[in-house]
Structure 1
């Protein structure tokens, strides 16, 4: 049996360095599951490592992709009950391939009432949002989101409201996001409206920032000193300087928390995620066959995009 995978053997722009490669499946390692993939999304966290931004912790060659959903085809003795069931094959191989081998104890079973295209996106953004809200609680606070049209931000906004945030504002670049954010209870703020952003930031208690750069600096310059600024991404490609000793700035990287989770705690995080995700608004999925991965990457980069490109691994 052969596998088709998107490999990169050098760092660079994903369109240039990703290459589809076919090879026979090897022996399944002890303690691992073999999963026939169904869907895997395209996220910033998938693309950034390919560029070499994290080369110190990205050994080459590598298969791209960090999350997805598939059906278990082989399992070791303690996990044979998972054969034929859907799982998230996490913390193992790259997921942009038709078959993924993963540590059996870290595979996350998918509830029957969760659609596969939603399950494929249940890791990176939902877990990051859940952990940020646990470590930097929004209850009773005024919350400001940057890159508010992104998948992580829309979950942060909805779940912050559920956790008792006083108000949630979302800064967006494209007007197509305004109506969608408003329907989620997130007050839309155009990124071009610098005066309004400044007035809101001056009264904000917690910022969840995914952009960095000039926008982050502008917000930090006017935030109350007792506020909390949580940076979890640099989508602008630019870092930022804090020109005042306060407010406090925290850098959130999900990888820093994973090693501290026991297997039981890891599974418990998803037990909390499933009902929240099922009851939340999320970006709709636009499906592309694995063989059309370049189209999926192009769609991901479209300005004002409201859908999530997802690779169908069996098409």
Structure 2
């Protein structure tokens, strides 16, 4: 049994360094499942490590991809009940391949009512959004989102409203996102409307920022001192300087919290996420066969994109 996988053996631009390779899946270690993958999305968190941004903790060679959904084809006796079932094969091998080996205890069973297109995207953004809202609660507060058309931000906005946020605003760059955000109960703000951006930031209690760069500096320059600025990404590719002692800046990296989660807490987090995710508006998907991975990367890079590129492993 051979498996097609997208490997990178050096760091660089993903479109240049990713290489499809057909190899036999590695032998299962004790306590591992083997999963035949169905779908895996393209996220910023998948692409950034390929560039070498985290080379100190990214051993090469590596298979790309961090999340996805598939069907269990082999399992140890204690997890035989998962055979033939859909799971998220997390915290194991890269997911941009047809077969993935993963620790059985960390595999997340997928409820029957959840479509595979949604299940494939249930880890990185939903778990990050839930963790941030738990760490920096929005109840009774005015919330401001950057990169508001992104998958993580639209969940943050909807779930902040459900958690009792007084107001939720979303800064976006492409006009196509404005109507979508409004339909979710998130007040859209065009990033080019500097006056409105600064006016809302001057009243914001919590900012969840995914962009960094000059926008982050602008927001920090006018936010109330008692506010909290939560940075969880640098989509601009630029960091930022804080020129005032306050407001407080918090850096959120999901990886910093995973090792502290027990298996029980890990599984419980997803039992909580499934109904929230199913009740939320989420981006549509555009499906590409794994063999068309380059087109999927091009789709991801498109300005104003409103759908998530999804790799289909069912060749």
Q: TM class by shorter-chain length?
A: over 0.9
Q: How does 1:228-247 map to 2 (within 5 A)?
A: 228-247=228-247
Deviations 1:106-139 (A, max 9, x none): 0000000000000000000000000000000000
Return the offset for 1:73. 0.1
Counterpart for residue 298 of structure 1: 298
Counterpart for residue 145 of structure 2: 145
SS in 2 for 1:282: coil
Question: Residue 78 in 1 paired to residue 98 in 2?
Answer: no
Q: Matches of 2:194 and 2:82 in 1, distance apart?
A: 52
Counterpart for residue 260 of structure 2: 260
Q: Matches of 2:28 and 2:103 in 1, distance apart?
A: 10
Q: Which runs of 5+ in 1 are unaligned?
A: none
Q: Matches of 2:23 and 2:141 in 1, distance apart?
A: 53
Counterpart for residue 21 of structure 1: 21
Q: How many pairs does the alignment contain?
A: 315
Deviations 1:139-171 (A, max 9, x none): 000000000000000000000000000000000
Q: Matches of 1:40 and 1:162 in 2, distance apart?
A: 28
SS in 2 for 1:189: strand
Q: How does 1:109-188 map to 2 (within 5 A)?
A: 109-188=109-188
Counterpart for residue 215 of structure 1: 215
Counterpart for residue 32 of structure 1: 32
Q: Matches of 2:15 and 2:42 in 1, distance apart?
A: 13
Return the offset for 1:191. 0.3
Q: How does 1:47-86 map to 2 (within 5 A)?
A: 47-86=47-86
Q: Matches of 1:25 and 1:62 in 2, distance apart?
A: 13
Deviations 1:15-41 (A, max 9, x none): 000000001223211100000000000
Q: Matches of 1:124 and 1:11 in 2, distance apart?
A: 22
Counterpart for residue 44 of structure 2: 44
SS in 2 for 1:72: strand
Q: Matches of 1:140 and 1:28 in 2, distance apart?
A: 49
SS in 1 for 2:65: coil
Counterpart for residue 104 of structure 1: 104
Q: Matches of 1:220 and 1:21 in 2, distance apart?
A: 46
SS in 1 for 2:26: coil
Counterpart for residue 199 of structure 2: 199
SS in 1 for 2:250: strand
Return the offset for 1:217. 0.3
Deviations 1:261-285 (A, max 9, x none): 0000000100110000000000001
Q: Matches of 2:313 and 2:101 in 1, distance apart?
A: 15
Q: Which runs of 5+ in 2 are unaligned?
A: none
TM-score, structure 1 normalization: 1.00
Give the root-mean-square deviation of aligned CA atoms.
0.4
TM-score, structure 2 normalization: 1.00
Counterpart for residue 287 of structure 2: 287
SS in 1 for 2:158: helix
Q: Matches of 1:304 and 1:110 in 2, distance apart?
A: 31
Q: Matches of 1:122 and 1:26 in 2, distance apart?
A: 26
Deviations 1:207-265 (A, max 9, x none): 00000000000000000000000000000000000000000000000000000000000
Q: Matches of 1:142 and 1:38 in 2, distance apart?
A: 40
Q: Matches of 1:24 and 1:97 in 2, distance apart?
A: 11
